[in-house]
Amino acid sequence: MTLGPSGPPPVPRDGPPAPLATVNDLARLRMLSRVAEQVGEGVVVSDNDGWFLYVNPTFAAQHASTVEALTGAHLREFYREEELVTNVQPIIAAALRDGIGRGEVTRLRRDGSEFPARITLSLLRDEAGALIGRVLCVQDITAQRQLEEELRQAALYDPLTHLPNRRLLRDRVEYALQLRARRRTGVAALFVDLDGFKRVNDTFGHDVGDEVLVEIARRLVDRVRSCDTLARYGGDEYVMLLVELIDAEQAAMIGRRVLGGFEDPVRTVAGDLQVSASIGIHIATDFDDYDALLRAADGAMYDAKRGGHGGLRLSIN
């Protein structure tokens, strides 16, 4: 046979595929399957309508099920309806526009429980560019969310009493003062300082002192309204942010209720200890910011302390 200028004649289109190509394709599929089964993320291959054609073991474990049970499932089974609308649809839209979509969602397991996930959605196209399927990668970020929550707690809450700390208190006071300016509702700071607490630490040790602080925090929480904030200001000092107040008398009534929490002794490993507190209250004015509000309440508390243990004073605006 003589070779023409274009080389050997082409293989007829209706002839069988080359055996080597078939072997290579199968080997590639096996290799891709092994990779998908060993990665640390859940992997799903679906058709254009969202029906699962392939599920790897990690995905099955993430969703409290098996590969066999999930093959043939539909993507809608793993989201609440509102999650589909608010979070999933934008990811699908991004994939259709850019070829890939990413985002964080809340996924449903087969047992009905939920877990946070970071997902990546890619589109599969044939050689002509036609859409033939989707690949979804799912990363369980529960541990990451737990770490973020622990860091948030450490940044905003007192580690001993688990009450809001000064930083969170400042945020809430500033927000309350902004609302007060718009809605003209009453806002006040109620400053609580334990009387003679240093003597407890010096006599019984800091462990007993911590017992007292935790118990007092518990009692104060029982006396704070749901709309208010109780914070540990530092040491043996607590601050209540009072909002939606009608008048100064209502603030004083709350203060008297707080003092009632000190009537019973505190039970500790060292025995029952009688603890008292002095309270100062300042009703916010148009000129008060966070520092001015707390400073005035602190001054009223010292006025109460000078008048004797277990006292209550309202600052004069």
Q: Which two tokens stand for residue 38?
A: 């060993």
Please give the pLDDT value at position 40: 74
Please give the pLDDT value at position 266: 95
Residue 236: which residues within 8 A CB-CB, separation 6 or more? 193, 194, 197, 213
* Cα dihedral sign, 305-307-310-312: negative
Where do you find CATH 3.30.70.270 in the chain? 157-314
Q: Which two tokens stand for residue 75?
A: 């993507």
User: How many Cβ atoms from other residues are within 10 Å of residue 104's Cβ?
Assistant: 13
Residue of 254, 256, 200, 260 lying closest to 230 (CA atoms): 254
Please give the pLDDT value at position 117: 97
The catalytically annotated residue of 193, 236, 288, 298 is 236
3-state class (DSSP) for residue 55:
strand
Please give the pLDDT value at position 12: 41
Q: What is the CATH number of domain 36-145?
A: 3.30.450.20
Which superfamily, per CATH, for 157-314?
A: Reverse transcriptase/Diguanylate cyclase domain (3.30.70.270)
Question: What is the DSSP track for 14-38?
Answer: TSPPPHHHHHHHHHHHHHHHHHHHH
Please give the pLDDT value at position 188: 97
Please give the pLDDT value at position 31: 54
* Cα dihedral sign, 235-237-238-242: negative
Cα separation values, 164 from 110, 241, 303, Å: 37, 11, 26
Q: Which two tokens stand for residue 47?
A: 């058709």
Torsional class of 129: left (φ above 0), alpha (ψ -120 to 50), beta (otherwise): left
DSSP letter, residue 18: P
Cα separation values, 209 from 23, 97, 270, 300, 316, Å: 76, 62, 10, 25, 33
Q: Which two tokens stand for residue 43?
A: 């992997």
Residues (pLDDT < 70) of the chain are: 1-39, 316-317
Where do you find CATH 3.30.450.20 in the chain? 36-145
3-state class (DSSP) for residue 105:
strand
Tell me whether residue 236 is one of the annotated catalytic residues. Answer: yes
